[in-house]
């Protein structure tokens, strides 16, 4: 969720996007004000980030080239932000579906990114063992498809930026009621404020094309690698939604639709 007006910027001095990295004076990112990441406000209202990726931006075009290069040479570590200028890094708010081609990548590094969402194609990165996203403060949730990365055992995430995190227990965006038919939806051009994503093509659970079924979205918090992550599920049926595992210990125990739902007390209460 974003405020109106020109976003405030600050300099990232972490890891590969530091001053010494290619691109000069550090990585500039937008400040996120979706919820207070220093104090618990569990009854606050939150929403999804509304920005859409500008696919004409130089940073996006450069990222597409880098993904293709990494797929072609079969590299095992991918650090695309070091190849982008500070201005280009700020222009990238999601990742392209073409990351599905990165089947050799074992370590994916996106320290200090300006990301607000990650596409479900992350689930196709079958060799992924480590995912580094620390200080990506605008990234509040992940697609359920990341659970398909069966080798993923290490992650570095700024947990205070996550919906429902154990430190602050910020709320989850309220999801729309189940859609028994998607005939009226343009699944390739969705409103991210309503659906969290700009496109939904397959069921998060069974991988069936959504257009052949319905659309049932729920939240579930599961341990993925090192961290418990809030996962957005886009299921093709109530049966698929019901087949989801229980939430991680200390979190909401069953899949839910967000909003002002009761959560366990935060560690800071």
In SS3 terms, the chain reads as CCCCCCCCEEEECCHHHCCCCCCCCCEEEECCCCCCCCCCCCCCCCCCCCCCCCCCCHHHHHHHHHHHHHHHHCCCEECHHHHCCHHHHHHCCCCCHHHHHCCCCCEEECCCCCCCCCCHHHHHCCCCCEEECCCCCCCCCEEHHHHHCCCCCEEECCHHHCCCCCCCCCCECCCCCCECCCCCCCCCCCCHHHHCCCCCCECCCCCCEHHHCCEEEEEEEEEECCEEEEEEEEECCHHHHHCCCCCCCCCCCCCECCECCCCCCCCCC
| Contact call for residues 152 and 128 (beta carbons, < 8 A) | yes
User: Could you read off the pLDDT of 93-113 as tens digits, one per residue?
Assistant: 999 999 999 999 999 999 999
pLDDT tier at 44, thresholds 50, 70, 90: confident
Between CA 4 and CA 105, with CA 196 as vertex, the angle to 5 degrees is 110
pLDDT of residue 85: 95
- The predicted pLDDT at position 18 comes to 44
Task: Find the range with the poorest average confidence among 41-50, 75-84, 88-97.
Answer: 41-50
Share of the chain above pLDDT 70, in %: 88
The half-sphere exposure of 73 on its side-chain side, counting CA atoms within 13 A, is 9
Other Cβ atoms less than 10 A from the Cβ of 164: the count is 26
Averaged pLDDT score across all residues of the chain: 89
Neighbours of 191 (CB within 10 A): 14
Q: What is the pTM of this model?
A: 0.89
Of the candidates 38, 30, 39, the residue with the CA atom closest to the CA atom of residue 3: 30
Can you give the pLDDT at residue 4?
35
Beta bridge partners of 154: 130
Kindly report, residue by residue over 125-165, the tens digit of the pLDDT: 999 999 999 999 999 999 999 999 999 999 999 999 999 99
CA separation for the pair 94, 60 (Å, rounded): 9
Mean pLDDT of 216-237: 97
| pLDDT the model gives residue 268 | 64
How far is residue 227's CA from residue 135's CA, in Å, rounded to a whole number?
A: 14
pLDDT above 80 (res 41): no
Say if residues 267 and 166 touch (Cβ distance below 8 Å): yes
- pLDDT above 80 for 197: yes
pLDDT at 231 over 80: yes
Question: Can you tell me the distance from the alpha carbon of 136 to that of 241, in angstroms, rounded to the nearest whole number?
Answer: 29
Can you give the residue ranges of every domain in the chain? 9-242
Provide the percentage of residues in the chain whose pLDDT is more than 90.
80
Give me the half-sphere count of Cα atoms (radius 13 Å) on the Cβ side of residue 200: 30
């Amino acid at each position: 969720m974003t405020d109106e007006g020109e976003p405030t910027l600050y300099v990232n001095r972490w890891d590969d996007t530091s001053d010494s990295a290619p691109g000069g004076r550090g990585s500039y990112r937008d400040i996120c004000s979706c919820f207070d990441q220093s104090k618990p406000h569990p009854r606050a209202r939150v929403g999804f980030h509304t920005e859409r990726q500008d696919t004409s931006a130089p940073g996006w075009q450069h990222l597409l080239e880098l993904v293709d290069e990494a797929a072609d040479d079969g590299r095992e570590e991918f650090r695309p932000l070091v190849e982008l200028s500070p201005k280009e890094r700020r222009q990238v708010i999601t990742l392209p579906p073409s990351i599905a081609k990165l089947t050799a990548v074992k370590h994916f590094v996106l320290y200090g990114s300006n990301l607000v969402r990650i596409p479900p194609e992350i689930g196709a990165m079958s060799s992924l063992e480590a995912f580094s996203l620390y200080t990506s403060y605008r990234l509040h949730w992940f697609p359920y498809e990341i659970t398909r990365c069966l080798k993923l055992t290490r992650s570095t995430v700024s947990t205070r930026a996550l919906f429902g995190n154990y430190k602050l227990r910020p709320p989850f965006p309220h999801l729309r009621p189940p859609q028994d038919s998607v005939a009226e939806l343009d699944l390739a051009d969705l409103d991210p404020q309503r659906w969290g994503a700009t496109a939904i093509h397959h069921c998060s659970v069974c991988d069936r094309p959504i257009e052949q079924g319905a659309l049932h979205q729920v939240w579930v918090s599961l341990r993925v690698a090192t961290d418990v992550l809030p996962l957005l599920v886009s299921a093709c049926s109530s049966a698929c939604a019901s087949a989801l595992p229980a939430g991680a210990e200390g979190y909401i125990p069953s899949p839910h639709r967000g909003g002002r739902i009761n959560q366990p007390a935060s560690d800071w209460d």
